[in-house]
Structure 1
Amino acid sequence: MTPCMPRQFMSNAFFALGKGRRRAPLRFRQGGQNILVSSPMALATIWDADILIWATSTMIAAQRCGAPIPAVLQATRYEILGFPRRDVSGGYYERLPDGLERLNRTNVVISSSEWIDEQTGAPWIEDWRISAGVVHIRLAAWLREAVLAPRAVLALDPAYFTLTSGFERLLYLIARRHAGRQRDGWAFEVAHLHRKTGITQTLVAFVALLRRVARSNTLPGYRIELSDLNWPEHVRFRPIGDRSVDKPVGIPVGIFDRTRLSTVESTPIACENHG
């Protein structure tokens, strides 16, 4: 099953990039909309988002196969945790409820008007429970609509899950969303990219981070090019090689309704592939 993510959430930092407990809201503009991501506890992290990638991929696989998409997604803990190719251990099982709760308590406001801190948005997950090792997840209605809209999702390279830095993960998502497979990729003003990532460090520190990622060359399928190594004004994400993003993740994942009448087995399903 090909990992997929709605392109709407790949252009900016919708998730905390560190594994620590970030409480400060994320605020940014995207496509004329004001976005506010907040939580009364801690924001959902970009690693918690792996659960949403699993859910998105499962629904897209069902949609492409013409299978019904239940209101409540169900799978074993191993199927969800193993989807991003983790070496699943007891520690991951113990931390799964925390990730689900952060997704449930993190609220997203998307508005054409100015946001205020008191605004109450919609969570990523409306409800969840774990019973006898089976995870039951009800995605928020707005998120289901974002996933199932025409041409709404992009396939991800499974190597995305091997990135250990939240910053590198976000850079990959931005590159995948904007550069796609275009020959010349996509260029940003460095200051603009700095704002998109939501990183609180200074612009000087941000450039140092970019240089480090560019030297390590860790982004799957993309190379980072800085316009000037002394003080770059632009950064370009350029596709490299002939790397396909349609490689399946070989973990069988089923989706079921409450009576478990419908199952979709793991199949290499191609998501939208345009950048």
Structure 2
Amino acid sequence: MDDLLLPDRYKQNDFFICDVFDSFKDDMASMEHPVFSLSKKPDHRVLVYESNGNSIKIKPSYTGLATILDKDVLLYLASSLMNAKNNREKISKTVRFTSYDYLIATNKGTGGFQYKQLQEGLERLKGTVIQTNIKTNGVEVIEEFGLIDRWKIVKEGTKGKAVAIEVTLSDWFFNSILGDSVLSIDKDYFRLRKPTERRLYELARKHCGNQVTWKIKLENLKAKIGITSPTKTLRFNINKIAETNHLPEYNISIENDMVMFTRKEPPKENNASGQLPCD
């Protein structure tokens, strides 16, 4: 199975994943829509999702939408901030870290290509904008914000190698840290090769959680993943993943276009239920 995953380059601690829309208390459905592009090529689509009269619009910059691989920066920052918060240290929206530590923590190489990818990812994170309209008790609030507010890279030496990164988080992200709106994720998430596999793991982690099983119709799963490829392609890919069984923490199976996620092992918290929620 190891050839299906990226090499485990370094020994890592557990990380945390931030649920993007947890700050919108009355719009829980919007958390389930894909925000990050799964494309490996520049994605300049404007994504629009609607649920229960509320809408979410995700707009790219000239560099394209932020990708699910760019999201590793946010996972790293969430992990760092939660660790500091749990240790009763003071935290702020502006976080300074070394590029080397980030690359090691997220199981990436440390060559020039990876440093270039990091900068391009920061550009896409800064440029991608989310617009929401939330309707509550007859009042509509339209709001627009970026994934991050600003970033800075400090370089030194004749080759100009990145030494330190400084990122200022947007309010929505920082508020999710203050509110403990995070979920732990398996470190092998960073070894998943394909963007779709990462998105499948995220959905399993969020919806299955500590339950024994989560079931969802294939068409509904396709919408949550955010892909435009034919349904038959997703069906084929899920069957292949079911054969290899290499997703961290969860098994996946499909029968009559009903996809089922089940935990490989009981959660650390012993409160799993045997219910089978369906979407």
Task: Give TM-score, length-normalised by structure 1.
Answer: 0.79
* Matched AA of 1:239: R
> In the alignment, does 2:97 pair up with 1:85?
no
* Matched AA of 1:108: I
Matches within 5 A, 1:61-76: 61-76=83-98
* Matched AA of 2:183: L
Among 114, 127, 130, the alignment partner of 1:105 is 127
Higher relative contact order (CA 8 A, sep 6+): 1
**What's the counterpart of residue 158 of structure 2?**
none
> In the alignment, does 2:240 pair up with 1:240?
no
Identity of aligned residues (%): 28
**What's the counterpart of residue 166 of structure 1?**
195
What SS does structure 2 have at the residue aligned with 1:126? strand
Q: Deviations over 1:213-243 (max 9, x none)?
A: 2222121011112123xxx2x1111001357
The alignment yields a C-alpha RMSD, in angstroms, of 2.4
**What's the counterpart of residue 208 of structure 2?**
179
> In the alignment, does 2:149 pair up with 1:126?
yes
What SS does structure 1 have at the residue aligned with 2:265? coil
Q: Deviations over 1:79-112 (max 9, x none)?
A: 1122112222221012211110100000112322
What SS does structure 2 have at the residue aligned with 1:66? coil
Q: 1:244 to 1:19 in 2, by over 3 A?
A: farther
CA distance in 2, matches of 1:40, 1:15: 13
CA distance in 2, matches of 1:35, 1:206: 24
Once the two structures are overlaid, the 10-residue window that deviates more, 119-128 or 169-178, is 119-128
CA distance in 2, matches of 1:139, 1:66: 20
CA distance in 1, matches of 2:272, 2:93: 28
Given that 1:154 and 1:274 are in contact with CA atoms closer than 8 Å, whether structure 2 keeps it comes out as no
Once the two structures are overlaid, the 10-residue window that deviates more, 10-19 or 43-52, is 10-19
> In the alignment, does 2:25 pair up with 1:2?
no
**What's the counterpart of residue 21 of structure 1?**
42
* Matched AA of 1:78: Y
Is the strand fraction higher in 1 or 2?
2
Shift of 1:138: 0.2
Shift of 1:148: 2.2
CA distance in 2, matches of 1:211, 1:28: 27
Shift of 1:120: 7.6
Q: 1:100 to 1:31 in 2, by over 3 A?
A: farther
> In the alignment, does 2:172 pair up with 1:142?
yes
Shift of 1:71: 2.8
* Matched AA of 1:91: F
Given that 1:11 and 1:173 are in contact with CA atoms closer than 8 Å, whether structure 2 keeps it comes out as no
**What's the counterpart of residue 12 of structure 1?**
33
| Count of aligned positions | 237
Shift of 1:163: 0.3
CA distance in 2, matches of 1:204, 1:225: 15
Q: Deviations over 1:170-204 (max 9, x none)?
A: 00000000111322x11011111111111111222
* Matched AA of 1:176: R
Among 173, 186, 192, the alignment partner of 2:220 is 192
What SS does structure 2 have at the residue aligned with 1:37? strand
What SS does structure 2 have at the residue aligned with 1:169? helix
CA distance in 2, matches of 1:31, 1:225: 30
Structure 1 unmatched runs, 5+: 114-118, 246-272
**What's the counterpart of residue 231 of structure 2?**
203
Shift of 1:13: 1.6
Shift of 1:147: 2.8
Q: 1:2 to 1:33 in 2, by over 3 A?
A: farther
Among 23, 31, 43, the alignment partner of 2:65 is 43
